[in-house]
Amino acid sequence: MEKILNHVELLSISQWDQAFITLLRVVLIAIVAWIALGVTQRLIRLFRERLTRRMEDREQVKRAETLGRVFRYIAAVAIIVFAVTLILSELGIAVAPILGAAGVIGLAVGFGAQSLVKDYFAGFFILLENQMRQGDVVDIAGKAGLVEEITLRYVRLRDYDGNVHIVSNGLITTVTNMSRGYAQSVIDVGVAYREDTDEVVEIMRKVGVEMRADPVFGPKLLDDLEIAGVDKWADSAVILRCRFKVQPLEQWNVRREYLRRLKKAFDAHDIEIPFPHMTVYAGAARDGSAQPFQVKSPEAGARAQ
């Protein structure tokens, strides 16, 4: 009897020791994974900061920041998956059948979630080909706004009204980037048909020179005002087109400021800025003659009554 009790006691102590060792290994794996995750994230961030210090182009800096976030994400996923696999092995759970089942399930899910797979592939090539970066203003999938975040699955935009748009990468077929390198601020100016277009062009050019010399707006302009000339004859105005070559994302500010200054210059030179007109006919006889159109004043109407 004593031998049996001693055997049970030794077996119990052995099991507790084995469980403690297993728990210790699991905790150790979790700690090492946590440390590796922190070190990896820090190393990627330091490497990105070291690269960006040597970059003078702001666009390259934004691209490095975007790629740095993607690499941190990939590294975190890889470390977590590896740590979970080791923990399952320590707990006595066979990993090979789980990986095999996961492969089969992944294949089935892949057929059912083709759009999701398409999002990830499209996101990878968007980042690889540097089509857009965080901080760019783009037009994608019918939505336009400032790029706040780019992941392998979606792009998050915020438009001028503050609305947030989440666009899946699989829906992006064309990217219109309005902040790459430089921008063109295209401005259409309408004047009345009676105005001398040569005089109007001189006033437009003078206002452009003043903006170029302005300490606030001058640095935003990369070149002098380019005047294309008369662009078209509209219903009630002659349209003259011009443009500034400006810093990225400054095309709208420059356009608003130029129109503000040009309005003052037109007012000072009595240049008419037209608006739609309406001509009223009193009617015509068969021979083409028309009766004069008479407008009665309110006083005349009151006397007639």
139 and 171 belong to one structural domain: yes
Among residues 69, 88, 112, the one where a domain terminates is 112
For residue 131, the domain's CATH number is: 2.30.30.60
If asked whether residues 103 and 6 sit together in one domain, one would say yes
140 and 193 inside one domain: no
* Residue 148 falls inside a structural domain: yes
Three-state secondary structure along the chain?
A: CHHHHHHHHHHHHHHHHHHHHHHHHHHHHHHHHHHHHHHHHHHHHHHHHHHHHCCCCHHHHHHHHHHHHHHHHHHHHHHHHHHHHHHHHHCCCCHHHHHHHHHHHHHHHHHHCHHHHHHHHHHHHHHHCCCCCCCCEEEECCEEEEEEEECCCEEEEECCCCCEEEEEHHHCCCEEECCCCCEEEEEEEEECCCCCHHHHHHHHHHHHHHHHHCCCCHHHECCCCEEEEEEEECCCCEEEEEEEEECCCCHHHHHHHHHHHHHHHHHHCCCCCCCCCCCCCCCECCCCCECCCCCCCHHHHHHHC
Domain presence at residue 283: no
Q: For the domain that residue 79 is a member of, what is the CATH number?
A: 1.10.287.1260
CATH of the domain at 249: 3.30.70.100
The answer to whether position 193 is within a domain reads yes
Residue 227: per-residue pLDDT: 94
Q: Reply yes or no on whether the pLDDT at 288 is more than 70.
A: no
Torsion sign over Cα 49, 54, 59, 63? negative
pTM: 0.60
Domain tally for the chain?
3
Weakest-pLDDT range from 8-22, 125-139, 173-187, 225-239: 8-22
Do 188 and 157 reside in the same domain of the chain? no
pLDDT in tens, 118-174: 888 888 888 778 888 888 899 999 999 999 888 878 999 999 899 999 999 989 989
Do 28 and 106 reside in the same domain of the chain?
yes
Single residue among 112, 139, 161 that ends a domain in this structure: 112
Residue 288 lies in a domain: no
Greatest mean pLDDT among 5-9, 51-55, 89-93, 133-137: 133-137
User: Which range (101-115, 159-173, 184-198, 260-274) has the least confidence?
Assistant: 101-115
Q: Is the residue at 72 inside a domain?
A: yes
Q: Are residues 103 and 18 located together in one domain of the fold?
A: yes
208 assigned to some structural domain:
yes
Does some domain include residue 51? yes
Q: Do 173 and 191 lie in a common domain?
A: no
Q: What is the rounded CA–CA span in Å between residue 198 and residue 247?
A: 29
62 with 100, same domain: the answer is: yes
Domain that holds residue 44: 2-112
Same domain, 78 and 141: no
Q: Do 170 and 187 fall within a single domain? A: no
Domain check: are 30 and 44 in the same one?
yes
Separation CA 225–CA 245 (nearest Å): 8
38: in domain: yes
